[in-house]
Amino acid sequence: MEQKILELRQRARDAIKNVTADLKELDNIRVKILGKKGELTSLLRGMSQLSAEDRPKIGKIVNEARAELEALIASKNDELKAKELSNKLASEKIDVTLPGRQVVTGNLHPLTLTLNRIKEIFLDMGYTIEEGPEVETDYYNFEALNLPKDHPARDMQDSFYITEDILVRTQTSPVQARTMESHESNSPIRMIAPGRVYRRDDYDASHSPMFTQVEGLVIDKGIRFSDLKGTLEHLLKEIFGKNAKARLRPSFFPFTEPSTEVDVSCMMCHCHDENCKVCHGSGWLEILGAGMVHPDVLKMSGYDPKIVSGFAFGLGVERIAMLTYGVDDLRLFYDNDVRFLQQFK
Ligand code: PHE
């Protein structure tokens, strides 16, 4: 009997020592040995068969074994609990020195920013904003603008035709005719029409088959070329600042007479750098075409050139954006590379 108890005691010690992680495992051992039906408990029950003189001796041994094992279990229990807590603390640790997660916000495209600025300037002068379709009829894109079929000036704008009579507009000028038609004859108009236009062009640093224009049209009694000039000067000063220079060159458009093209001084190279991708060393960049509305254009849209006159202009938004932001390749506007776009926050 004594032998059995000592064996059990040793076995239990080893088992308790070997428990490494699990509190449940430790409890199983406790139940198996010290529980009501545990091994040590049933040994105790067997004591009734012992002789009277053996009983106190064995009883002492059993009690010692029980006391030791209980103490071992208690200290193992504390050890495991402490380990569990420190594991938990380690896995839930918050590193307050880590940099915060960046919230990515979008921003407006540089062409949108430029368009918004242009719109703002004209809205301040009392202009309305008109729209026209990008898929346009030959009539509005050309004929209503004094460009009958087979007119040689049609070659100035190589077009993408969809059918014989329908094309993607080569300019925003068709909105001039559409706006006049929607107005009562000879009533005043002061409008701009921003939008995309399409031409069969190369795709390089300064050309693109799709680009953006803002059309302008002012009609009223007594509108003169000096009104056009003053309006454009105001626009260019607002956009490029007081130091920007502008020059007007005589030009030709079938829908205006007289016509002009307007250049602004190149803000990329300043001193006529031959390698300047924007002005190629000329020091000037053409940004718009303009002129006094041709009498035939007024007539075709129901206005009477004997009563009213007007001016019109069409400006290139990409070119203005290139100069304002110092971008020397137009393709950057369409590549949608976030590294480029993010710079306009
Ligand atoms: N539509 C012309 C172009 O795209 C520009 C222009 C508009 C010229 C209005 C005169 C008047 O080249």
- Gap between the Cα atoms of 338 and 196, Å rounded: 22
Q: Does the Cβ of 289 fall within 6 Å of ligand 1?
A: yes
Q: How many CB atoms lie within 10 A of CB 337?
A: 9
Ligand 1 atom, smallest distance to 288 CA: 5
- Gap between the Cα atoms of 218 and 292, Å rounded: 9
How far CA 21 is from CA of 25, 73, 76, in Å, comes to 8, 13, 10
Residue 76 is predicted with a pLDDT of: 81
Ligand 1 center to 290 CA (angstroms): 6
Residue nearest to atom 10 of ligand 1 (CA): 290
Helices 2-18 and 54-91 pack at an angle, to 10 degrees, of 0
Residue 343 is predicted with a pLDDT of: 94
- Gap between the Cα atoms of 203 and 330, Å rounded: 9
Residue 145 is predicted with a pLDDT of: 97
Pocket test for ligand 1, best of 130, 171, 256 (most atoms within 8 A of CB): 171
pTM comes to 0.72
User: Right CATH number for 111-344 from 3.90.1170.50, 3.90.420.10, 3.30.750.24, 3.30.930.10?
Assistant: 3.30.930.10
Pocket test for ligand 1, best of 253, 255, 297 (most atoms within 8 A of CB): 253
* pLDDT tens over the chain, length 345 residues: 778 777 877 887 887 888 777 778 878 878 888 788 887 777 777 777 778 787 788 788 788 878 887 887 888 888 888 888 888 888 888 888 889 888 888 999 999 999 999 999 999 999 999 999 999 999 999 999 999 998 887 877 789 999 999 999 999 999 999 999 999 999 999 999 999 999 999 999 889 999 999 999 999 999 999 999 999 999 999 999 988 888 999 999 999 999 999 999 887 777 678 888 778 888 888 999 999 999 999 999 999 999 999 999 999 999 999 999 999 999 999 999 999 999 998
- Gap between the Cα atoms of 164 and 138, Å rounded: 8
DSSP 134-168: SEEEHHHHTGGGT--TT-GGGGGS---BSSSSEEE
Domain ranges of the chain: 2-91, 111-344
Ligand 1 center to 101 CA (angstroms): 49
Residue nearest to atom 4 of ligand 1 (CA): 171
- Gap between the Cα atoms of 202 and 206, Å rounded: 9
Q: Does the Cβ of 312 fall within 6 Å of ligand 1?
A: yes
Residue nearest to atom 9 of ligand 1 (CA): 313
Task: Using DSSP, state whether 196 is helix, strand or coil.
Answer: strand
